[in-house]
Chain A
Amino acid sequence: MLYAALQSLSSHWRRHPGQLVMLALGLALATALWSGVQAINAEARAAYDRAAATLGQDQLSRLEQSDGQPVPTAEFLALRAAGYLVSPVISGELREGGARLRLLGIDPLTAPTETQSPTLTGDTDIADFFTAPGLLLVSQATADGDLPLGLPPLRIAENVPPAAAITDISTAARLLDQRDPSYLLIAPDQPFGLAPITDATNLTLRSPEVGSDIARLTDSFHLNLTAFGLLSFGVGLFIVHAAIGLAFEQRRATIRTLRALGTPLRTILLALGLELAAIAALAGLIGILLGYVIAASLMPGVAGTLRGLYGAEIEGVLRFNPDWAIAALAITLLGTAVAAAQAMVRTAQMPLLAPAMPRAWAQASGRALRLQTLAAIALFTLAAALAVFGTGLYAAFACLGALLIGAALALPAVMTSLLSLVRPKGAFTEWIVADTRQQIPGLSLALMALLLALAANIGVSTMVGSFRTTFLGWLDQRLASELYVTAATPDEAEELMQALAPDVDAILPIVSAPTRLFDRPADVFGVVDHPTYRQAWPFLAATQDAWDRVANGTGILVNEQLFRREALSLGDVVPLADGLPIVGIYTDYGNPNGQAIVSLTRFAETFPEDRPRRFAIRIAPEDTPALATRLRTEFGLPADAVTNQAQVKAFSVDVFEQTFRVTGALNVLTLGVAGIALLTSLLTLADLRLPQLAPIWAIGASRATLAKVEMARSLALAAITFVFALPVGLALAWILLAFVNVEAFGWRLPMQVFPADWLLLLALALLAAGLAALGPTLRLARMPPARLTQVFAQER
């Protein structure tokens, strides 16, 4: 009996393949967007774990200087002499132009086995590793990428993170120009009878890293992506809900007939469930494939974003992971169950003898509308409460969720209210308004999907636009110098600065040292006292005498990220160089880490080994090209060692654009999905509406007129949805800028609006609605009169 019932019910799809395609498409798209985002997140997190596991950082404790400076070699030798099993590591970064390579120099003879350093094979490799010029072990992706010049020979090895190389400590010391180890790895099993290692040294003991800095830093980025994936999945489920709703509605009579012929209700429900599960499984598989394609195509962009924004190195390549595929299939089945729940409950509650009502599903009761409106008001209240009292990223996303769902639920009531304000003149217009009002329940789900997509689009584009405008203005302030020069060595930089000084307005040395502030990675810069900084530096807050105090070594400037992350304020003391009070807080967009600025003198005292290799030159703009040429010809600097302001800006803007490429792509995809949701609903209503249209046709409205009305109505509903989406999108942007970005990136931006973008989006929304309505409209315009008269013959 189950088979016969299943066959009868599923025969519907053979007769309506378009509906099946819509259902499968909705499910596949929802799965694709969700699983694509999950695949990206999984791949990035796996990369962080691989990086964290390099040299056993996730298992081994280490000894280091509290100020982040190298550990004196004498200290290492003393510990070894006392019998402690410690191993030196020299760690640092080589930079040249845009190329970066993180070096990890190890001592294979003393390294604990937990370091799991790549195995060297063959006598040649082992000999090369220890002897000059040395050997760098890198991944294939690193070897294929852009690398600094003058490196020793490379060997490909597995388990080396991207943009990193493992080498002998002597090779690292030479390449990084650093004699002492950066830190000492401690073997977990020390010889019996020794005192705790902390008693034998003044060095600071750091426990193994549980979750790397990068993983913590990028959590918010991945949460952002997940939120977008969820939004896309939700919008996709609207399509599924609409398609399932239509199929159930059209099969209402069949279900009644089956029950009348003696099929128990539970058998029918089981058959419907099995049928949906099969469709969901198939569409889910297609979705996983699509998701893989989407993720693979977005992966290079994500890698660029993570590199530019957080300094996190991941390969731009996606590996297939069965875990996320299975999870995606499970969430597809779960999503289908959620989307089908209403239709299943209606089927279960459908009285056997109620007359067939082809538009019953469209006739949402006034009570349901009131409940929906009340729920919307409750959600808006919750969103407001979270905005005022909530803290943290999860509260921010909960606020976003409450706002968006509340807006979606409020939409039918808003539309109905707007239509009740219309006072039509003439019978035909009166019919159009009444008919539109009657259609709203049927179209509301699709319009809600459109609302969500539009609001997300407005919100994200406002956020990105605000960011772009602020960022470009900030770049102009930060990159005030005309030329930037990088010398091969600090000595060469010194010579160049002395030689150029008489011919330029000013020379501003650029020097920085990596360190840890408040137990997080940070960079400290040393600057000279110069009007370039005093006039243009982008402060968020500063004391009156900020630059004076920096210049005389009694003050420090910190970037916004450090200020927000550590909840600092002016006057707070930063634990650097015996403690310096904060005299200014400056914006520092695009930097993942904390940053601080002290005077060049203070810097030299604190980091004596770090001398400037780079410097900026102030010169009349018209003299810049000539000086750049002179630097290359007279001083023999390579082309990429001299960059002008425009080149640096272009590079920075490129990093910026890369950052939001992924969200932009997801935005467009979500809008596309919403367009399909609208198409599904219009196709749904097209058949069900014939009994309403046929009498109007019979009393004198031509098919062409009716088709035009249908098209105009779709466009009008899309326009109203857009108008409602506008404030919702702006509220979304405000939450993104005021809460999410602060948590995710560490900075807050002023909100700006871009009406021209709205007009473009409105045009896109109308285009989507027009395209969605085109098929049903043309079909109506060309419908044979016999099909319309059939309505009267079959009317029940």
Chain B
Amino acid sequence: MPGPTCYIRPMTASLLDLRNIRKTYPSDGKTLTILDGVSLKLDAGETVALTGESGSGKSTLLHLAGGLDQPDAGQVRLNGQDIGTLDDAARALVRRDRIGLIFQQFNLVPSLIIAANIALQARLAGRHDAAFCAELAARLGLSEMLSRYPEQLSGGQQQRVAIARALAHRPALILADEPTGNLDEETGDAVLTLLLELVTETGAGLLMVTHSPRLASRLSRHANLSRGRLEGI
């Protein structure tokens, strides 16, 4: 199995380069265009908020950026490599080694304790650093609950676990799909503050989907998806 280094590309390329992305879905016998020629660039250390109405294609764009799905047309380039053309197994390795994903529903493994959840992706990637995991847990206020199971934690705590998991393997790119969507305003603010601090410290790029203009304003750039096209970049 190839090691993570085989994906390193010259630093001249953008961290994430979405070029003229088009994505459609069949619906009631017709073809529904979700994304229609969307282009977006994101460099290391940059944070971009992606907003838009429900059904505007925000999550779809995030999934394409993370190699969870493939575009009908256009390119998804990560450090210059077009990951949209890779097969499923190769895209899985790209995600494992270079991307951190944060979901609105947290998607923790319910049968693993918090410590194991935090370390999960790092262990899958073969880059488990126990000290770093412990530091992340401490920074996110999770040290006291490492031996608990996800169901024993509140929503805000679970989302902090998800953030720790996404950062534990030191990814180049973090993709967050409404990470505070399930949290109250105060908790959401606190979680985002921590996420931004950690992203800055690790030098990763962040693409975050959110409904909230207030939260979007805290990121370095803001793009809005409307009728399948991107505005405001």
Q: Which residues of A contact B (CB under 8 A)?
A: 1, 4-5, 7-8, 11-16, 251, 253-254, 256-266, 352-353, 356, 793, 796
By a CB distance below 8 angstroms, the chain A residues around B116 are 7-8, 11
Instruction: Tell me, rounded to whole Å, the shortest Cβ–Cβ distance linking B181 to chain A.
Output: 12
Can you name 15 extra interface pairs (CB under 8 A) apart from A13-B111, A259-B92, A261-B96?
Answer: A1-B124, A1-B126, A4-B120, A4-B123, A11-B112, A15-B149, A16-B111, A256-B107, A257-B109, A260-B68, A261-B121, A262-B97, A263-B124, A266-B89, A353-B68
* CA–CA, A155 and B39, complex, Å: 98
By a CB distance below 8 angstroms, the chain A residues around B69 are 352-353
Q: Which residues of B contact A (CB under 8 A)?
A: 1, 63, 66, 68-69, 88-89, 92-97, 99, 101, 103, 105, 107-112, 116, 120-121, 123-126, 149, 155, 165
By a CB distance below 8 angstroms, the chain A residues around B88 are 264-265
Contact between chains at B107 and A257 (CB < 8 Å):
yes
Select from chain B the residue with minimum beta-carbon distance to A263: B124
Contact between chains at A265 and B112 (CB < 8 Å):
no
With contact pairs A257-B107, A352-B69 given, residues A264 and B120 touching in the complex (Cβ less than 8 Å): no
Contact between chains at B95 and A254 (CB < 8 Å):
no
By a CB distance below 8 angstroms, the chain B residues around A263 are 92, 96, 124
By a CB distance below 8 angstroms, the chain A residues around B125 are 1, 262
Contact between chains at A262 and B92 (CB < 8 Å):
yes
Instruction: Tell me, rounded to whole Å, the shortest Cβ–Cβ distance linking B1 to chain A.
Output: 8
* CA–CA, A7 and B107, complex, Å: 17
By a CB distance below 8 angstroms, the chain B residues around A259 are 92
* CA–CA, A518 and B167, complex, Å: 86
Contact between chains at B124 and A261 (CB < 8 Å):
yes
* CA–CA, A349 and B140, complex, Å: 37
Which listed residue, A12, A15, A262, A265, touches B95 by the CB 8 Å rule? A262
Instruction: Tell me, rounded to whole Å, the shortest Cβ–Cβ distance linking A47 to chain B.
Output: 50
Which listed residue, B105, B111, B149, B165, touches A796 by the CB 8 Å rule? B105
User: Which of B93, B99, B111: most chain A Cβ within 10 A?
Assistant: B111
Contact between chains at A5 and B124 (CB < 8 Å):
yes
Contact between chains at A352 and B68 (CB < 8 Å):
yes
Instruction: Tell me, rounded to whole Å, the shortest Cβ–Cβ distance linking A644 to chain B.
Output: 71
Instruction: Tell me, rounded to whole Å, the shortest Cβ–Cβ distance linking A275 to chain B.
Output: 13
User: Which of A12, A15, A251: most chain B Cβ within 10 A?
Assistant: A15
Select from chain A the residue with minimum beta-carbon distance to B89: A264
Contact between chains at A262 and B94 (CB < 8 Å):
yes
Instruction: Tell me, rounded to whole Å, the shortest Cβ–Cβ distance linking A694 to chain B.
Output: 16
* CA–CA, A265 and B66, complex, Å: 16
With contact pairs A8-B112, A15-B149, A352-B68 given, residues A264 and B93 touching in the complex (Cβ less than 8 Å): yes
By a CB distance below 8 angstroms, the chain A residues around B105 are 356, 796
Contact between chains at A262 and B121 (CB < 8 Å):
yes
Contact between chains at B101 and A261 (CB < 8 Å):
yes
Instruction: Tell me, rounded to whole Å, the shortest Cβ–Cβ distance linking B209 to chain A.
Output: 14
By a CB distance below 8 angstroms, the chain B residues around A353 are 63, 68-69
Contact between chains at A262 and B68 (CB < 8 Å):
no
Select from chain A the residue with minimum beta-carbon distance to B128: A4
What are 20 A-B contacts defined by CB distance under 8 Å? Answer: A1-B124, A4-B123, A8-B111, A11-B109, A11-B111, A12-B111, A15-B111, A253-B107, A253-B110, A254-B110, A258-B109, A260-B103, A260-B107, A261-B120, A261-B165, A264-B89, A265-B88, A353-B63, A353-B69, A356-B105
Select from chain A the residue with minimum beta-carbon distance to B97: A262
By a CB distance below 8 angstroms, the chain B residues around A258 are 109, 124
Q: Lowest 5 CB-CB distances: which A-B pairs, in order?
A: A262-B96, A262-B95, A11-B111, A4-B123, A15-B111
By a CB distance below 8 angstroms, the chain B residues around A8 are 109, 111-112, 116, 120
Instruction: Tell me, rounded to whole Å, the shortest Cβ–Cβ distance linking B32 to chain A.
Output: 16
Select from chain B the residue with minimum beta-carbon distance to A355: B105
Instruction: Tell me, rounded to whole Å, the shortest Cβ–Cβ distance linking B131 to chain A.
Output: 18
Instruction: Tell me, rounded to whole Å, the shortest Cβ–Cβ distance linking A9 to chain B.
Output: 8
* CA–CA, A258 and B121, complex, Å: 8
Contact between chains at A14 and B124 (CB < 8 Å):
no
Instruction: Tell me, rounded to whole Å, the shortest Cβ–Cβ distance linking B167 to chain A.
Output: 13
With contact pairs A352-B69, A353-B63, A353-B69 given, residues A262 and B107 touching in the complex (Cβ less than 8 Å): no
Instruction: Tell me, rounded to whole Å, the shortest Cβ–Cβ distance linking A645 to chain B.
Output: 70
Instruction: Tell me, rounded to whole Å, the shortest Cβ–Cβ distance linking A203 to chain B.
Output: 77
By a CB distance below 8 angstroms, the chain B residues around A261 are 95-96, 101, 120-121, 124, 165
By a CB distance below 8 angstroms, the chain A residues around B165 are 261
* CA–CA, A15 and B113, complex, Å: 10
Contact between chains at B111 and A4 (CB < 8 Å):
no
By a CB distance below 8 angstroms, the chain B residues around A16 are 111
* CA–CA, A14 and B110, complex, Å: 11
Instruction: Tell me, rounded to whole Å, the shortest Cβ–Cβ distance linking A382 to chain B.
Output: 40
By a CB distance below 8 angstroms, the chain A residues around B1 are 1
Instruction: Tell me, rounded to whole Å, the shortest Cβ–Cβ distance linking B128 to chain A.
Output: 8
By a CB distance below 8 angstroms, the chain B residues around A266 are 89
* CA–CA, A229 and B109, complex, Å: 40
By a CB distance below 8 angstroms, the chain A residues around B112 are 8, 11
By a CB distance below 8 angstroms, the chain B residues around A254 are 109-111
Select from chain A the residue with minimum beta-carbon distance to B105: A796
With contact pairs A15-B149, A352-B68, A793-B155 given, residues A265 and B109 touching in the complex (Cβ less than 8 Å): no
* CA–CA, A4 and B118, complex, Å: 12
* CA–CA, A501 and B111, complex, Å: 89
* CA–CA, A341 and B97, complex, Å: 31
Instruction: Tell me, rounded to whole Å, the shortest Cβ–Cβ distance linking B62 to chain A.
Output: 11
* CA–CA, A353 and B120, complex, Å: 20
* CA–CA, A262 and B93, complex, Å: 5
By a CB distance below 8 angstroms, the chain A residues around B108 are 257
* CA–CA, A663 and B223, complex, Å: 74
Select from chain B the residue with minimum beta-carbon distance to A256: B107
By a CB distance below 8 angstroms, the chain B residues around A796 are 105
* CA–CA, A187 and B123, complex, Å: 75
By a CB distance below 8 angstroms, the chain A residues around B120 are 4, 8, 261
Instruction: Tell me, rounded to whole Å, the shortest Cβ–Cβ distance linking A248 to chain B.
Output: 13
Instruction: Tell me, rounded to whole Å, the shortest Cβ–Cβ distance linking B28 to chain A.
Output: 19
Instruction: Tell me, rounded to whole Å, the shortest Cβ–Cβ distance linking A41 to chain B.
Output: 42
Select from chain B the residue with minimum beta-carbon distance to A3: B123
User: Which of A12, A260, A356, A796: most chain B Cβ within 10 A?
Assistant: A260
Select from chain B the residue with minimum beta-carbon distance to A266: B89
By a CB distance below 8 angstroms, the chain B residues around A257 are 107-109
